[in-house]
Amino acid sequence: MIEVEALKKYFSTGILRKRHIKAVNGVSFQIEQGETLGLVGESGCGKTTIGKSLLRLIEPTGGKIIFDGIDLVHLKKKELRRIRPRMQMIFQDPDASLNPRMKIEDSIAEPLKLRGGLNKVEIKEKVSELIETVGLNPEHVNRYPYQLSGGQNQRVALARVLAVNPDFIIADEPTSSLDVSVQAQILNLMQDLKRKFDLTLLFISHDLEVVRHMSDRIAVMYRGKIVEIGIVNEIFDDAKHPYTNTLISPASLEDQLIYEDIKDAGCVFYPRCPFAAEICCKKEPEMVEIGRGHWVLCDRVT
Amino acid sequence: MSLLTITHLKVLFPTQDGVVKAVNTVDLKIANAERLGLIGETGCGKTVLGLSIIRLLQPSTKIEGEIVYKGKELLRLSEEEMRKIRGKEIAMILQNPTTSLNPVLKVGDQIAEAIQLHQGLDKRAAKEKAIEMLESVKIPSPEKRANEYPHQFSGGMKERVMIAMGLACNPSLIIADEPTKGLDVTIKVQIVKLMKEVSRRKSMLFITHDLGVAAEICDNIAVMYAGELVEYAKTEDIFKNPFHPYTRGFLNSLPSRGLKQIRGISPSLIDLPTGCRFHPRCDQASAKCKIDHPELVEIENGHFARCLLYT
């Protein structure tokens, strides 16, 4: 359904805008129809940048994004707008991503109005249907986001997304600002909706346990690169990349505080890797397949 | 003997919409060298409880009950006397270091401020002590870092600065409010390790919603729901044999325990349910749970719960 090849996004910084931050540095993956791919990594590793690039909410520096056979990177603005309803995104902080001056009802109705083809009565009906689908009460429609809890606002965000009947949803840390018990409610709801509407999901999170629960396959990201990708059980039972292992059992991590500037040559994880050898700082490793669909970016594994 | 004894503590905020009952009759003891975890979800009153101990709540707040620290009744002390205890005897490590640190002061100076105030050192000596503190929380090249501003520090590093500041005057009691909130997994592990180290032989009230972190650090755990304690026990008992349905639900909603949700949402602290505060969300609630408000009773040796199922 989605095919990403050598995706790159560089941000320019410095006074002369000549220094580049390689937020996403040559990332490739596919997501099958109906599948959930989990994307994990620490803050600043480029997960959100990937999510936004897929929708071209930010323009990628290079690479290919194919969605259902359509090349998104070279699409014109107008054509892009036609295709966007099929791909939607849910953001991290629901309190910040909803318009504080819009009633819940209007927030959910907005995408329906933009899509057109429905009259006022039909929109109203559709809104109450969506409200029910995401588990809100009818009395919530006349309230404002500040009158609802974080979990309820995230349900509103879900209703907005579902309003346009998407095929593919990018969920960017949808529960990281929620309490544990509310997180459970939202994650369960997302899984129900996924089944009901036959959705394909890219689930971005820094919480490995949450990703494990939600995904069919997991991609682990470190400093702009995917370092390991495979089906959930393989990643948890048979992780090969040293960084994946640190994420799974962080207790093994030494008190390492050095965060060196990235060098062009060598492995991205080299400065923190307990198994680093001389070759690791000289030659950039390549993705190798070590099992069925299980890829690792590490020269020491092979 | 206990270092801190809280009896019948009530904290009420009068607002336009009604009285917010943030803490509702809490009794709690912290012994010497005990690390007590206070667990609960957003808005259950745990931070307010922490702030009421060092009296940092706004003046309009109504506080009832007693907080006795080393024989002194904290709620009766004058502001002058309280200032001598705050930071020196009882220190609080606030949540969200990004907003808690002063952005226009050098990190070293911020730590030195408290040292100068409480230990009577001159400016230079206080600065030296501040650098020592930065070193003790394992910040590399502390001399250089002491002259930097908060925005030059990462989230985990800022948290270390907050911890250094809290420990600067060698307090007997540390109140740590969600020190691991918003940190990456790998950084969290480092901060937990550090908290364990620095709180050795000290008393600590560790406020968090992260059960994993609490299990790692605390000797005992108190679970808070809607302004009151619903369960209290040794850490291992809370995890192995939770009594209260809320504690059980809370544990089961963790992704690692199967993500079983508790239905409904936490009640508003203005309009609390009658009877047991948890009854609208409880699967085991019976008719009398709607009427009778249960007391916190000892069910097994040292294991307390507030639930009619056990009375």
B176 belongs to a structural domain? no
A302 belongs to a structural domain? no
Segment A112-139 shows an average pLDDT of 90
- Cβ atoms of residues B207 and B176 within 8 Å: yes
pLDDT above 90: residue B218: yes
pLDDT band at A281 (very low <50, low <70, confident <90, very high): confident
CA distance B57 to B42: 18
* pLDDT one-digit tens code per residue, A140-176: 889 999 888 888 999 999 999 999 999 999 999 998 8
CA distance A175 to B28: 32
CA distance A47 to A173: 10
Residue B42 parent element (H or E): none
B82 belongs to a structural domain? no
Segment A95-108 shows an average pLDDT of 92
Q: Which of A48, A139, A175, A180 to mutate to test the interface with B (most CBs of B within 10 A)?
A: A180
CA distance B34 to B50: 16
Interchain pair B255, A207: CB under 8 A:
yes
pLDDT above 70: residue A183: yes
- Cβ atoms of residues A79 and A69 within 8 Å: no
Beta strands in A32-123 (DSSP E): 36-40, 62-67, 70-71, 87-90
Interchain pair B259, A250: CB under 8 A:
no
CA distance A247 to A42: 9
- Cβ atoms of residues A140 and A113 within 8 Å: no
Residues of A in contact with B263 (CB under 8 A): 185
Tell me what the pLDDT averaged over chain A comes to: 88
Residues of B in contact with A187 (CB under 8 A): 255, 259
> Nearest CA to B93 among B74, B77, B114, B70?
B114
CA distance B149 to B106: 5
Residues of B in contact with A208 (CB under 8 A): 185
B282's tokens: 């409880």
Residues of B in contact with A188 (CB under 8 A): 259, 261
A103's tokens: 């009633």
A100's tokens: 């504080």
Task: Provide the Cα torsion B291, B294, B299, B305; round to 10°.
Answer: 120
A131 belongs to a structural domain? yes
A92 belongs to a structural domain? yes
* pLDDT one-digit tens code per residue, B99-128: 899 999 999 999 999 999 999 899 999 999
B148 belongs to a structural domain? no
A88's tokens: 């939607």
Number of structural domains in chain A: 1
Residues contacting A156, CB < 8 A, separation 6+: A94, A98, A104, A107, A108, A134, A136, A140, A145, A148
CA distance A295 to A123: 46
Residues contacting A227, CB < 8 A, separation 6+: A220, A221, A241, A243, A244, A268, A269, A296, A297, A298
Residues of B in contact with A250 (CB under 8 A): 185-186, 188-189
Tell me what the pLDDT averaged over chain B comes to: 93
Please name the member of A182, A183, A208 whose beta carbon is closest to the beta carbon of B185. A208
Interchain pair A181, B261: CB under 8 A:
yes
Interchain pair A152, B265: CB under 8 A:
yes
pLDDT of residue A232: 94
Is residue B28 helix, strand or coil? strand
Beta strands in chain A (DSSP E): 2-13, 19-31, 36-40, 62-67, 70-71, 87-90, 168-172, 200-205, 217-222, 225-231, 287-291, 294-297
pLDDT band at A257 (very low <50, low <70, confident <90, very high): very low
Segment A88-100 shows an average pLDDT of 89
- Cβ atoms of residues A282 and A265 within 8 Å: yes
pLDDT above 60: residue A260: no
Segment B124-138 shows an average pLDDT of 93
Please name the member of B139, B186, B249 whose beta carbon is closest to the beta carbon of A246. B186
Alpha carbon A90 to its chain's center: 9
Beta strands in A188-262 (DSSP E): 200-205, 217-222, 225-231
CA distance B193 to B177: 16
pLDDT above 50: residue B223: yes
B145 belongs to a structural domain? no
Residue B263's closest chain A neighbor by CA? A185
Interchain pair B185, A213: CB under 8 A:
no
Residue B188's closest chain A neighbor by CA? A250
Residues of A in contact with B280 (CB under 8 A): none
pLDDT above 70: residue A126: yes
CA distance B64 to B57: 13
Our CA angle for B60, B64, B69, nearest 5°, is 110
- Cβ atoms of residues A298 and A273 within 8 Å: no
Interchain pair A255, B250: CB under 8 A:
no
A24 belongs to a structural domain? yes
pLDDT of residue A122: 93
Judging by beta carbons within 10 Å of its beta carbon (0-12, 13-18, 19+), is residue B10 exposed, middle or buried?
A: middle
Looking at residue B99, what DSSP letter applies? H
Residues of chain B with a CB closer than 8 angstroms to some CB in chain A: 41-42, 138-140, 154-155, 157, 184-190, 193, 209, 211, 249-250, 253-256, 259-263, 265-266
Segment A51-62 shows an average pLDDT of 92
Interchain pair B255, A213: CB under 8 A:
yes
In angstroms and rounded to an integer, the radius of gyration of the C-alpha atoms of chain A is 21
Share of chain A above pLDDT 70, in %: 95
Segment A57-73 shows an average pLDDT of 92
Q: What ipTM does the predicted assembly reach? A: 0.79
> Nearest CA to A163 among A100, A202, A113?
A113
Q: Determine phi and psi for A213, rounding to 5 degrees.
A: -70, -35
CA distance A26 to A4: 10
Least confident range from A121-130, A270-279, B146-155: namely A270-279
Q: Give the range of the structural domain holding residue A43, as residue numbers without chain letter.
A: 2-297
Residue type, B140: P
Q: Give the range of the structural domain holding residue B69, as residue numbers without chain letter.
A: 2-76+205-310
Segment B45-53 shows an average pLDDT of 94
pLDDT above 70: residue A263: no
A142 belongs to a structural domain? yes
pLDDT above 80: residue A16: no
Share of chain A above pLDDT 90, in %: 56
Interchain pair B261, A188: CB under 8 A:
yes
Residue B256's closest chain A neighbor by CA? A209
Please name the member of B139, B250, B256 whose beta carbon is closest to the beta carbon of A209. B256
Looking at residue A13, what DSSP letter applies? E
A277's tokens: 């050898």
pLDDT band at A193 (very low <50, low <70, confident <90, very high): very high
Beta-sheet pairing, B72-73 with B90-93: unpaired
Please name the member of A208, A212, A253 whose beta carbon is closest to the beta carbon of B189. A253
Residues of A in contact with B249 (CB under 8 A): 181
Interchain pair B41, A180: CB under 8 A:
yes
> Nearest CA to A298 among A215, A248, A239?
A239
Closest Cα in chain B, distance from residue A227 (Å):
17
Residue type, A64: K
Residues contacting A15, CB < 8 A, separation 6+: none
The domain spanning residue B261 has which CATH number?
Answer: 3.40.50.300
Closest Cα in chain A, distance from residue B310 (Å):
24
Residues of B in contact with A246 (CB under 8 A): 186
The domain spanning residue A286 has which CATH number?
Answer: 3.40.50.300
Beta-sheet pairing, B2-15 with B228-234: unpaired
pLDDT band at A302 (very low <50, low <70, confident <90, very high): low
What is the number of CB-based contacts under 8 A between chain A and chain B? 76
Number of structural domains in chain B: 1
Interchain pair A150, B42: CB under 8 A:
yes
Q: Which of B39, B98, B189, B260 to mutate to test the interface with A (most CBs of A within 10 A)?
A: B189
* pLDDT one-digit tens code per residue, B250-283: 999 988 888 888 988 888 899 999 999 999 999 9
Interchain pair B261, A253: CB under 8 A:
no
pLDDT above 90: residue B156: no
- Measured CA to CA in angstroms, residue A149 lies from A95, A175, B178, B261, B273 at distances of 8, 13, 20, 16, 18
Segment A244-266 shows an average pLDDT of 65
